Structure 1
Amino acid sequence: MTDIINTLAGIAAQDPLDKLRDHRAQAKDNAQLSFEALLEPAETGGFSHRDRYAVAAFTAGLLGAPAAEEFYRDLLRDEDEVASWEIAELLDEVLLELDSRSTVRGPYGTFESAALAAENVPGPWLSVEKKSSEVLGAQLAAGLEFAHLLVLHPRDSRPEHMALLLDAGWDEDSIVTLAQLVSFLNFQIRISTGLTALVHAPATTLPPVSDEPPEAGDGDGEATSARDSAASSKGSEALARVGERVSTYPGLTRPELFQQSGLGWVPWIPSPRRT
């Protein structure tokens, strides 16, 4: 199979940049194997190829990677052309809202620790509308909302989001694969974007990006608060329905500030079964 990172970056076989990548042959091979395991597995379980390509195209769009978005939409089009166009329309709506309501493209979110409140950044959430859900299905719609969470609201992740996925029909193994897929795409797209920059000199100088949190417009705070409240209620209801399938660890002691020492780790859902 053609090396996908080279494809996304526009690097031909035996190109000097391809030979440069060969200096880290194991990293190059593992990146390709990760693509094959996550996007082209022989056995898909409860996470179909169609839904994997849809999540990949949507994630690439959120990350501002048009080459990767088109690549994965082409794969999706071969599986479900209607879904491919629906993903494109959904991305247009999401990105338009991001641009109209915020001066930065994430990451957004609220830290649980009050000591980090000064670093909180408000930003829009995604709730897939009924029209898109009817085309894509409830399970994929929930998966896209989860991908949006991981890309743009990682600090807002809560056990309730596992419950929402379970409630929409995802099983525990597929949820882990979904999270791995979104994480891998972040890696793949960053590598291919860096290589593309080496292949093509930038045509223009990009304007500086502000590090300041975006300012909410008139009435925006109330609308955001209402959406956050509705999303929280939806997650709490889902958590109640799935019961012990999601662990919340109410007595867990969490750090109040960033620290360099090691952290313990506990899962919200069980690790995938090994066969």
Structure 2
Amino acid sequence: MTTPTLDTVDRLAGLRADDDVFHLRRRRPVTREQLQASSDALFAPLDDSEFALTERLLVAAFATRATADDATAAHYAALAAEADASRAAIVAAEASAAATAGPFGTYAEEGLRGESTDGRRYEPALAARDALGERLTAALAHAHLLTARPRESGAAALDRLLDAGWSVDGIVTLSQLVSFLAFQQRVAAGLRVLSEASAPALEEVPA
């Protein structure tokens, strides 16, 4: 009998092939396969000329750690360190300094301005700018904006990326990456909770 294969979300959620939650995921094969396909497209791209794989891993390590210190953050931190240990260490320090629950921000629509909230803003440290370069630090700042202050993203934020040397295609992929990571992180966290909740119930079932 073939052993079921763990995909990326299974590993991030700490699932095993004998877990109920592992088999529950297999009841929605299309959803599971599409999620893995998105991961493969972003982290095993056919062409990374506009957004290099190492940059993607560094941004992923930053974005996931800036929102939560969990298994997903640890996963991308390890991959980033493997790809570029020196820059990964700087990114990790920046992410820890920028960590926030969020989201915050100011609504542009007049009718919603009363619901605006303020919170942490991220500006890369000068030492980080010198070590990582303007292009990567601009990407980190944009990732933080999209995760912590999404309602403030707009033309000015895109102009900052263009000024830092990002192409339009690169910006699209960067935005897709940050959006995907937020979703993947939430899915993995939810599955971990389900798995932990189901384990005691199973232990109470008589043999």
Out of 73, 77, 80, the residue aligned to residue 76 of structure 1 is: 80
The aligned counterpart of 1:37 is 41
**Aligned: 1:25 with 2:9:** no
Q: Higher Cα Rg: structure 1 or 2?
A: 1
Q: How does 1:66-215 map to 2 (within 5 A)?
A: 66-95=70-99, 98=100, 105-201=101-197
More helix per residue = 2
Identical aligned pairs, as a percentage? Answer: 35
State the shift of 1:93 in Å: 1.5
State the shift of 1:158 in Å: 1.7
The aligned counterpart of 2:66 is 62
Within 1, Cα distance between the matches of 2:96 and 2:35? 29
Letter of the structure 1 residue corresponding to residue 118 of structure 2: P
Q: Which runs of 4+ in 1 moved over 6 A?
A: none
Q: Deviations over 1:71-96 (max 9, x none)?
A: 1111111110011111111122223x
State the shift of 1:2 in Å: 4.6
Equivalent residue of 1:82, what SS?
Answer: helix
Within 2, Cα distance between the matches of 1:63 and 1:107? 10
The aligned counterpart of 1:214 is none
Q: Is the 8 A contact 1:65 1:189 kept in 2?
A: no
What CA RMSD, in Å, does the superposition of the two structures yield over aligned residues? 1.6
Alignment gaps of 5+ in structure 1: 99-104, 202-275
State the shift of 1:16 in Å: 2.2
Alignment coverage as a number of residue pairs: 194
CA 1:65/1:4 → structure 2, altered by over 3 Å: closer, same or farther? farther
State the shift of 1:37 in Å: 0.3
The aligned counterpart of 1:8 is 12
Within 2, Cα distance between the matches of 1:13 and 1:49? 30
Within 1, Cα distance between the matches of 2:62 and 2:156? 22
Q: Is the 8 A contact 2:19 2:195 kept in 1?
A: no
Q: Is the 8 A contact 1:109 1:121 kept in 2?
A: yes
